[in-house]
Amino acid sequence: MDQKIINLYDEYTHTGLSRKEFMKKLAIITGSTALALTVLPLLENNYAAAATLNEDELSVEDITYPGAEGDVKAVLAKPKDKKNLGCVVVIHENRGLNPHIITVTKRLAAEGFIAMGIDALSPFGGTPADEDKGRELIGKLDPEKNLQNYLKGLEYLRSRKDGNGKTGCMGFCWGGAMSNKLAVADPKLLAAVAYYGTQPKSEDVPKIKASIMLHYGGLDERVNAGIPAYEAALKENKIDYKLYIYEGVNHAFNNDTSPTRYNEAAAKLAWQRTVGLLKDKLT
C-alpha cells in the first residue's frame, strides 16, 4: 500500500484530524471516494484476523483494583496453578483495552507471567466499542491521575501472593509512551518495554532504574524523531537499555489486526527479545 496512505492513517489515529477530513484526504490520495471506501477496511483493525491462542493452560479474569479515584478495570491472565511468577503490566494503544491488547496480555501469560492489561478508560466506564470514541476519551484523561492508576496497578501486582514481587511493563504506541513514563516514575520497576512509543524528557531520564527495551519501526518518522535525544540521555546516565529499529516497517508493526502495518518477521523478533528481557529481569 502507498506509504502516503499509511502515513495519513497514522496522522488520523494520533492527532486531532477528524474522520471527515481524513476521508477527504484519503479520497484525494486514492483518486476517488469510492476507492477510499475500498481502502478503509484494509487500514482499520480487524480483530477477527488476530492470531488465536490456546487458553487451556491459562487463568483469565476481569478484575478491578483501587485507583487514584475509584476502581480501575483490568484483564488479568496467568498460568493455571502456578506461583512465584514475575508480573507485567500491559499498556494499550490510544484506543483503549481492545481485543488485540487482551490477546497480547494472554500471550504474555502463556510465557509464564502474571500479565495485567489495564483499561486506562476506566474513569469513563471502560473502553467503548467505537474506536474513534476511545481515541477521543484518551485525550480527556487527566495525565497525572492516569499515571497514578498505572503506578497503583504495579503496586497491586507486587502485593499478589502468586507473584514474586518483581514487576515490569510493556506498552504499544500510547502505551509505549506510558511504559517510558512508568520507568521514570517507579524506581521499583525492573523492566520497561516500549513499542513505538514517544520518549520522556531528557531531564527525566536520570530517574530511570529499570532496564529499558525500545522497539521502533524504521518508517515511523513521527515517533522516531525523538530517538536521538532519548538515546543520548540513556547513554549519558548509564541506563541499561537496548534499542532496536526494524527497517522498512511501520508504526504498529506488532499489531496483527492491522493488515497494512503488521510485519510478521519484525513482530516475532521483537516479541522474542521482549520475552527474553522480561524473563531475565523478572524470574
| Same domain as 110, residue 15 | no
Residue 12 lies in a domain: yes
Residue 27 pLDDT: 87
Q: Say yes or no: 29 and 59 in one domain.
A: no
Number of domains in the chain: 2
End-to-end CA distance of the chain: 42
The pLDDT assigned to 2 comes to 78
pLDDT at 283: 93
Residues 132 and 205 in one domain: yes
Res 188 pLDDT > 90: yes
Residue 76 within any structural domain of the chain: yes
Is residue 48 included in any domain, yes or no?
Answer: no
Q: What's the domain range around 18?
A: 3-43
Contact between 262 and 196 under an 8 Å Cβ cutoff? The reply is: no
Whole-number pLDDT of residue 49: 55
In-domain check, residue 50: no
Burial class (CB in 10 A: 0-12, 13-18, 19+), 235: exposed
Instruction: Judge if 93 and 194 occupy the same domain.
Output: yes
Same domain for 15 and 109, yes or no, is no
Cell 508504526 identifies what position? 251
Q: Does one domain contain both 192 and 170?
A: yes
pLDDT score of 52: 61
Please count the other Cβ atoms lying within 10 Å of the Cβ belonging to residue 161: 6
In a domain, 146, yes or no: yes
Give the three-state DSSP class for 64: strand
CATH code at position 203? 3.40.50.1820
Mean pLDDT (whole number) for 150-163:
98
Q: Are residues 89 and 199 in the same domain?
A: yes
Mean pLDDT of 1-7: 80
165 in any annotated domain? yes
Q: pTM for this one?
A: 0.88
pLDDT band for position 46 (cuts 50, 70, 90): low
Q: Mean of the per-residue pLDDT values for the chain?
A: 93
